[in-house]
């Protein structure tokens, strides 16, 4: 039977891909977004779809709709954007989670939270398993996002214990692909846009900090598998691609794939920027039978094609 599914943050990068996938799988989708970082262009192709509905709404305010499942993705994800109005970022994670959990509780609906590898902060354990409790600076400039997401996880588990809400918590590691906002400030979109314009590629710090990037199609596949996982499996579960590389290597690869004449320039490293990050995905392999299938070069080529089309 066709399910009615609510996606908060549905006009954003990940949310819009999720809308596409769930509609393609014959569901009805209600997309809620306040367009803080999302864009109508990400979902404009869906506006005429008979089973797609768009609601302009800020999830820090109550929302009364009738749905079977909720994916809670609303929250700016790029440091530039989540630091622009840090109080609103915390409100979105915390008050937004309370409202969406209240909705799930009333409806007895399953709810998935888009949490983040940022709950591990600047990790002292590498790669990071779900059991690692993290190293977050609670008063730094990333805290509005990191602590907001940590508190949201607390609320999810307390609604589960106290009110028996059926929860799924997903810790998403860095993801890239089409529909990233070109002005987002995240590293993959910055480097590709800079390379395509033959402008200098901006490396923050010495470029030896590492990340592990997952292509969006793999990530969405993991998200849907988690939502449909067995009763009682709550997570948290890491979803990401364990292939780790430095920002300098990423810059060189983007220059190579675009054939750009850009040179590399170095800018100051932002405060509390994590030195390294790599998911341990044993739990996702075991519980969800999931692992990424698209490697960096292939994913970057697809993403470069997308940005060529919009620049
Ligand atoms: P995004 O900024 O493209 O999307 C977020 C969406 O939420 C936007 O459409 C924005 O307008 C909307 N939004 C923000 N505040 C809102 C509010 N108060 N009410 C309603 N809508 C609101 O970011 P994304 O990369 O698509 O990230 C989606 C989710 O996944 C976020 O929760 C993010 O924290 C999480 N995540 C993403 C990554 C990644 O690498 N992309 C990594 C870890 C976690
Ligand atoms: N809420 C909502 N939609 C609903 C049900 C609840 O937005 O369909 C909000 C409601 O505004 C409340 C929050 O979710 O502030 C938490 O709901 P809960 O029932 O847990 O708490 P209570 O209403 O008892 O404060
Ligand atoms: N970064 C960079 N140049 C840029 C943008 C980001 O060197 O133009 C670095 C940033 O300092 C961080 C890494 O790339 O070390 C990933 O940054 P992003 O904002 O994409 O994600 P996050 O830090 O949240 O993992």
Domain residue ranges of the chain, discontinuous segments joined by + = 4-176+214-241+286-293
Cβ 65 under 6 angstroms from ligand 2 = no
Neighbours of 97 (CB within 10 A): 25
Distance from residue 102's CA to the centre of ligand 2 (Å): 4
Q: What gap in Å lies between CA 237 and CA 300, rounded to an integer?
A: 25
pLDDT value, residue 134: 97
Distance from residue 192's CA to the centre of ligand 3 (Å): 13
CATH superfamily ID and name for 4-176+214-241+286-293: NAD(P)-binding Rossmann-like Domain (3.40.50.720)
Give 88-102 pLDDT, tens digit per residue: 999 999 999 999 999
pTM of the model: 0.97
Taking CA atoms only, the protein residue closest to ligand 3 atom 18 is: 186
Candidates 58, 59, 67, 99: which one to mutate for ligand 2, based on the most atoms within 8 Å of Cβ? Answer: 99
- Asked whether 60 and 148 are in contact (CB, 8 A), the reply is no
Taking CA atoms only, the protein residue closest to ligand 1 atom 21 is: 33
Taking CA atoms only, the protein residue closest to ligand 1 atom 17 is: 58
71 counts as catalytic: no
Cβ 93 under 6 angstroms from ligand 1 = no
Distance from residue 262's CA to the centre of ligand 3 (Å): 18
State the DSSP code for 40: G
Distance from residue 186's CA to the centre of ligand 3 (Å): 6
Cβ 172 under 6 angstroms from ligand 1 = yes
Candidates 204, 206, 212: which one to mutate for ligand 3, based on the most atoms within 8 Å of Cβ? Answer: 204
Q: List the chain residues with pLDDT less than 50.
A: none
Candidates 62, 64, 72, 74: which one to mutate for ligand 2, based on the most atoms within 8 Å of Cβ? Answer: 62
- Of the listed ligands, the closest to the CA of 145 is 1
Residue 118 CA, closest ligand 3 atom number: 24
Cβ 105 under 6 angstroms from ligand 2 = yes
Structure tokens at 297: 């070069």
- Asked whether 245 and 211 are in contact (CB, 8 A), the reply is yes
pLDDT value, residue 1: 83
- Of the listed ligands, the closest to the CA of 85 is 1
pLDDT value, residue 263: 97
Cβ 11 under 6 angstroms from ligand 1 = yes
Structure tokens at 208: 């030896």
Say whether the peptide bond before residue 110 is cis (omega within 30 degrees of 0): no
Residue 159 CA, closest ligand 2 atom number: 20
Helix (H) or strand (E) holding 265: strand 264-267
Taking CA atoms only, the protein residue closest to ligand 2 atom 15 is: 99
Sheet holding 167-172, edge to edge: 52-56, 28-33, 4-8, 69-72, 110-116, 167-172, 237-239
- Asked whether 197 and 191 are in contact (CB, 8 A), the reply is no
Question: How long a stretch of residues is the chain?
Answer: 311
Structure tokens at 146: 């990191």
């Amino acid at each position: 039977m066709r399910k009615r599914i609510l996606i908060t943050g549905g006009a954003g990068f990940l949310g819009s891909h999720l809308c596409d996938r769930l509609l393609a799988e014959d569901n009805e989708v209600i997309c809620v977004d306040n367009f803080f970082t999302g864009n109508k262009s990400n979902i404009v192709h869906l506006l005429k779809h008979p089973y797609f509905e768009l609601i302009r709404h800020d999830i820090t305010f109550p929302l009364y709709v009738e749905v079977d499942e909720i994916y809670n993705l609303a929250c700016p994800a790029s440091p530039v954007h989540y630091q622009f109005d840090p109080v609103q970022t915390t409100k979105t994670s915390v008050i937004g989670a309370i409202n969406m959990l209240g909705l799930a509780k009333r409806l007895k609906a399953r709810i998935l939270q888009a949490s983040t590898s940022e709950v591990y902060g600047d990790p002292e354990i590498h790669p990071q398993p779900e059991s690692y409790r993290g190293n977050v600076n609670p008063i730094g400039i990333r805290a509005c996002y990191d602590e907001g997401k940590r508190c949201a996880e607390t609320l999810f588990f307390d609604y589960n214990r106290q009110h028996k809400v059926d929860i799924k918590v997903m810790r998403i590691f860095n993801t890239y692909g089409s529909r990233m906002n070109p002005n987002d400030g995240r590293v993959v979109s910055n480097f590709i846009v800079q390379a395509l314009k033959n402008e200098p590629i901006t490396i923050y710090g010495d470029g030896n900090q590492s990340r592990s990037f997952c292509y969006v199609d793999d990530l969405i596949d993991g998200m849907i598998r988690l939502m449909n996982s067995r009763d009682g499996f709550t997570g948290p579960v890491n979803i990401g691609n364990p292939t780790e590389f430095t920002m300098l290597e990423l810059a060189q690869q983007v220059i190579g794939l675009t054939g750009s004449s850009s040179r590399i320039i170095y800018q100051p490293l932002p405060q509390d920027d994590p030195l390294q990050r790599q998911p341990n995905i044993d739990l996702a392999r075991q519980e969800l039978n999931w692992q990424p299938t698209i490697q960096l070069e292939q994913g970057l080529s697809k993403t470069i094609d997308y940005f060529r089309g919009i620049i």
